[in-house]
Amino acid sequence: MQGPFIKSPVLKIVLGILSSLLAIVFILLLLFTEETRMEAQTASWAGREIENGAALYYNNCASCHGPDGRGLPGVAPALHSHYFFTERLGDVGWAGSLSDYVELTVAAGRPSKTNTQWAQMMPTWGVTYGGPLRDDQVRAVTAYVLNWEADSLTQTAEEDPWQPFRDVRKPVEQQTIGEPGEPPAEVAAPTGEPRDPEVLFTSLACIACHNLAVDQTPTNRGPVGPNFGNLNENAQTRVAGMSAEEYIHQSIVAPNAYVVEGYPSGIMPQNFDQLMSEEEINAMVTWLIEQSQQ
Ligand code: HEC
Ligand code: HEC
């Protein structure tokens, strides 16, 4: 009896070759699927990093750079901007990548400059430089900012929310993209349901210049705009014959009508009457008074 054993040497060789080939095909298949699996993994990591970055952006950056990165006039430049992605590096003479530029600016902040066009300095964020964010958080918020590239590149000159920079070698007159000081599109038109004053206080960047929790005193003044801890009290006496409500209303719609002593005029944006409906302005006045009575 031969049993199940194969006797023919030729058949043995053929079968040997076949099984080796099968093994090779199998290994190649494994390698291939592993690669796509890893690609999918990397993509989901990148996705998650951008998501983390979005939350970090909303909590730390939106008050100055605007809720959608389109900048706020006089407060901070637009990052969700065609100019930012195409010309900014050339204008500041940065030879590295945009990613390094953003990461380093976020990590280290920008030292105060004389004659700056912005109300406040860009703060230091990276823990390496004494800021509150870990390195991976700085990278995540950088990834989120860079994620605006595709959309920014579709902006026309009129849509670009960019404001001319005073810190570049090109004189302001030769900076031709966009119009200075355009409000971010989402907050520009007060339409539909009136928005909550507390939300507007952040999205219109009042919060970047006014501190609700601290009293304004001669020895403790808000650095950019007056503190609002005791606004109700101050507002009653600023202008003879004006109630607190009337004064605060006027301060919002016509900031230059009365300029608080010790502050330059023109720092507070002049277009809030276009960014809020009358109803929203009145609700803001009431809310500010309530806040400062607590
Ligand atoms: C207190 C307001 C403020 C906050 C909060 C803030 N920034 Fe800024 N940021 C600025 C100002 C002002 C500048 C412009 C500084 C300058 O050029 O002198 C700036 C500049 C930048 C720039 C460089 C822009 C350019 O074109 O050169 C980047 C990038 C940036 N900020 C990202 C961020 C990110 C990300 C966050 C949140 C982690 C953040 N900023 C939070 C005020 C702020
Ligand atoms: C870029 C900085 C900046 C932003 C943003 C800003 N303000 Fe002001 N605000 C100022 C400055 C500076 C003054 C003081 C000079 C003046 O009276 O115009 C001021 C004054 C005021 C006053 C009068 C305060 C007092 O003690 O008499 C009120 C009220 C006020 N702002 C409300 C607001 C509200 C509400 C917002 C948001 C919708 C806002 N501001 C946004 C800078 C700012």
How far is 58 from 200, CA to CA, in rounded Å?
14
pLDDT at 3 over 60: no
Q: Please state the pTM of the whole predicted model.
A: 0.56
Separation of CA 175 and ligand 2 centre (Å):
29
Token representation of residue 58: 């909303």
Reply yes or no on whether the pLDDT at 51 is more than 80: yes
Highest mean pLDDT among 22-36, 108-122, 151-165, 233-247: 233-247
Distance (Å) from CA 201 to ligand 2 centroid: 11
Check whether 28 has a pLDDT greater than 90.
Answer: no
Using CB distances shorter than 6 Å, the residues near ligand 2 are: 74-75, 119, 204-206, 208-210, 216, 224-226, 231, 234, 238, 248, 251-252, 255, 259-260, 263, 265, 267-269, 272, 284
Query: Distances from the Cα of 187 to the Cαs of 61, 117, 146, in angstroms?
Result: 16, 22, 22
The Cα 178–Cα 17 span in angstroms is 69
The pair phi, psi for residue 275, each rounded to 5°, is: -90, -15
Q: Is the pLDDT confidence value at 147 over 90?
A: yes
Tell me how far apart the alpha carbons of residues 85 and 74 are, in angstroms, rounded to a whole number.
Answer: 20
Joined tokens for residue 18: 């076949």
Give the pLDDT mean for 208-230: 87
Tokens of 97: 């990548």
Q: Please determine, for residue 203, whether its predicted confidence score (pLDDT) is greater than 90.
A: no
pLDDT at 180: 40
**Among the listed residues 96, 95, 57, the one whose alpha carbon sits nearest the alpha carbon of residue 79:** 57
Report the nearest-CA residue for atom 5 of ligand 2: 206
Averaged pLDDT for residues 174-201: 61
181 versus 97: the higher-pLDDT residue is 97
Which protein residue has the closest C-alpha to ligand 1 atom 31?
A: 122
> Residue 222 has what pLDDT?
81
Pinpoint the residues of the chain covered by CATH 1.10.760.10. 189-293
For residue 242, pLDDT over 90 is answered with yes
Q: Identify the residue whose tokens are 């109803």.
A: 279
CATH of region 189-293, choose from 1.10.760.10, 1.10.150.130, 3.40.50.10490, 3.50.50.60: 1.10.760.10
CB atoms closer than 10 angstroms to residue 267: 14
Spatial contact of 253 and 216, defined as CB atoms under 8 Å apart: no
